[in-house]
Chains A and B, each alone.
Chain A
């Protein structure tokens, strides 16, 4: 008798191998469909936005709160050991001091962001907080706490600390995914600021630990590009706005074909310690107009 025929008085259950087959077909269809289009992305992004993102935001807040508390505790403890007789007074002072330090820290951060703002003044920007990192170890992307409701769209550029971080690759109602330029599958069209020679900047997993990215296809006939030269996004890129700082050339060498050069770039952004980012809400197309 076939295993999928329902017997009397028994609840119908699909045998697991049939289920596996059906889901495999479903996955394959989804892969084929979403490879070219983004039909499913919209509803799924909305659903997970309501189910998962609130948890992530909560954990982020709790984590921040806990690390603040633990910092406070450590500071108070060391001072108690040093000044046992001034215990009460010192504790109160330290409390105050910590709060002030936190304020100062925030002030510095805001000042930095403000300066950055001056540099790219012609673009409209919104700030966002990072609430989650890639769940695997192969690529580098992260989630931010703003989405469609805040006017974000796919392909908007993301900057921080004066340099390019990446671009938005997926967006939900209250969250967005930013794929960073150090991710292994990302290519950015770039140019040197001094000579305006075009090149392709590519993330590399092997260099990610050192915090470097590679560049290639640099045509430099006059040998005028040097180590330490500034690299910015090029004006021929169709996703990235022109003249955003990517980093500085740290090594350069001639390719085997004797025509092009390649090497490594140290990014301007410290990708290990990113907390807040700025999203440029202007997109390349609208700038061209």
Chain B
């Protein structure tokens, strides 16, 4: 129960930060993608199930506020969370290389899928331009933000896991 409340607060916080605070911190009009950071990190920290649920709700929020129809971002982020969950078994909290790599790959693939489904299908074919001016800068900025945000998420998760372990011991 506590985990659900904390995770909900995290999602709302990241979404609100992304569309208000980071808008004024944008570099050349590019804002980082906090939803990807949140979805991926819970994916590889907690497994497929939690990753896909968090991804679904993160995406649904973006859909309701900014999508022209519901379900697109929800589905995209859900699969990203699920696939990140596959790496749960080789994840160690001490290692920061795997999380960084996973988040970059997630953000790049998110950008490329967005481009293909919402731009290329409207006959905007200059992939190189969009890759260099939108997708790559977003991934780089996201990495910079990850360096600060990821330790915080890790800490929150650690605290929650400790709390759950203590409660489980009480019942034994």
Contacts and interface: CB of A to CB of B under 8 A. Distances in A.
B148 interface: no
Contacts of A29: 71
Given A52-B12, A137-B134, A27 B19 contact: no
A19 B66 CA distance: 25
A27 B78 contact: yes
Chain A interface mostly: helix
B68 interface: yes
Interface stretch (A79-87, A107-115, A127-135, A260-268): A127-135
Contacts of A170: 65
Contacts of A44: 64, 70
B74 A34 contact: no
A277 to B, nearest CB: 15
A73 interface: no
A40 B78 CA distance: 19
A23 interface: yes
Interface residues of A, number: 48
A157 interface: no
B95 interface: no
A206 B29 CA distance: 12
Nearest to B135: A137
A136 B119 contact: no
Contact of A135 (B18, B75, B115, B122): B18
Interface string B44-87: 00011100110010000110111011111011001100100100
Contact of B23 (A35, A41, A132, A184): A132
Contacts of A184: 119, 122, 124
Smallest CB-CB A-B distances: 5 pairs: A30-B71, A27-B75, A27-B71, A16-B49, A31-B71
Interface of B: 12, 15-21, 23-24, 28-31, 33, 35, 47-49, 52-53, 56, 61-62, 64-66, 68-72, 74-75, 78-79, 82, 85, 114-115, 118-119, 122, 124, 126, 129-130, 133-134, 138
9 contacts: A19-B49, A52-B61, A134-B66, A136-B62, A138-B118, A185-B68, A205-B130, A206-B133, A209-B133
